[in-house]
């Protein structure tokens, strides 16, 4: 703690901060977060639980905890999830332990959650600061191109994802920061700036 800070005041970076990154499918959240974690060892990733099937390139416990519907039910019933939502027929939830325990140890936590889940984190009563970042592609045309490039060949699924994205962006006003992901390195730098700035924010210090 800097010795010029008056008693009872600190900067957020000396406690744990929860950085919640959200945005429509195709915004590029996962790539940005992966780069961010590689560059900043003080950031820990909150691994979500999901009932959706694992993709070939994903690793259980690194990308998600892949669980059965019954196991997800148990997590909910036992109060082990900070928030959970259904997205395109699958459930996603944030294990309390991924977030709360690390924040208590002074680590900063990065969460990759969908839009309503992000707002639920803000209202989950964490005793640590929650910073909400909304990531978007530069244009709607680019969003369509990215969703297509993911191998979503069915026009129905493409239309469904665009419709969801249109609903999601209506919630942008509830977020703190907007990051345009036109270029991976630039987007990573923008999120890193937000992380650095929030760590320097002056706040009352819990005593």
Element (H, E) at 126: none
Q: Is 173 in the site for a second copy (CB under 8 A)?
A: yes
Pick from 3, 57, 153, 156 the residue near a second copy by CB under 8 A. Answer: 3
Query: What is the token pair recorded at 110?
Result: 């990065």
Going by C-beta distance under 8 Å and a sequence separation of 6 or more, which residues neighbour residue 133?
19, 20, 21, 22, 175, 176, 177, 178, 179, 191, 194
Report residue 118 as tokens: 């992000």
- By CB under 8 A, the residues from 123 to 142 that bind a second copy are 134, 136-140
Using CB under 8 A as the binding rule, whether residue 179 contacts a second copy is answered as yes
Query: Is residue 11 near a second copy by the rule CB under 8 A?
Result: yes
> Is residue 164 a contact point for a second copy (CB under 8 A)?
no
Task: Identify which range of 31-39, 62-70, 71-79, 193-201 contacts a second copy by CB under 8 A.
Answer: 193-201
Between residues 93 and 137, which has the closer beta carbon with respect to a second copy? 137
Calculate the dihedral angle through the C-alpha atoms of 46, 189, 168, 30, rounding to the nearest 10 degrees.
-40
Beta carbon nearer to a second copy, 104 or 193? 193
Distance in Å, CB of 129 to a second copy, minimum? 13
Name residues whose C-beta falls within 8 Å of residue 125's C-beta, 6 or more positions apart in sequence. Answer: none
């Amino acid at each position: 703690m800097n010795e010029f800070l008056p008693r009872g005041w600190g900067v957020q970076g000396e406690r744990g901060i929860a950085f919640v990154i959200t945005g429509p499918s195709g915004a590029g959240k996962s790539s940005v977060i992966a780069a961010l974690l590689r560059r900043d060892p003080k950031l820990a990733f909150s691994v979500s639980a999901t009932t959706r099937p694992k993709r070939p390139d994903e690793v259980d416990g690194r990308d998600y905890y892949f669980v059965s519907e019954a196991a997800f039910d148990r997590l909910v019933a036992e109060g082990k999830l900070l928030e959970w939502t259904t997205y395109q027929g699958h459930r996603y939830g944030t294990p309390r332990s991924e977030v709360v325990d690390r924040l208590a140890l002074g680590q900063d936590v990065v969460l990759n959650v969908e839009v309503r889940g992000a707002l639920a984190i803000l209202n989950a009563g964490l005793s640590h600061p929650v910073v909400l970042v909304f990531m978007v592609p530069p244009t709607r045309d680019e969003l369509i191109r990215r969703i297509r490039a993911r191998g979503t060949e069915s026009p129905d699924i493409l239309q469904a994802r665009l419709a969801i994205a249109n609903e999601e962006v209506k919630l942008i006003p509830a977020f703190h920061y907007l990051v345009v992901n036109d270029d991976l390195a630039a987007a990573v730098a923008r999120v890193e700036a937000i992380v650095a700035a929030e760590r320097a924010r002056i706040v009352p210090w819990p005593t």
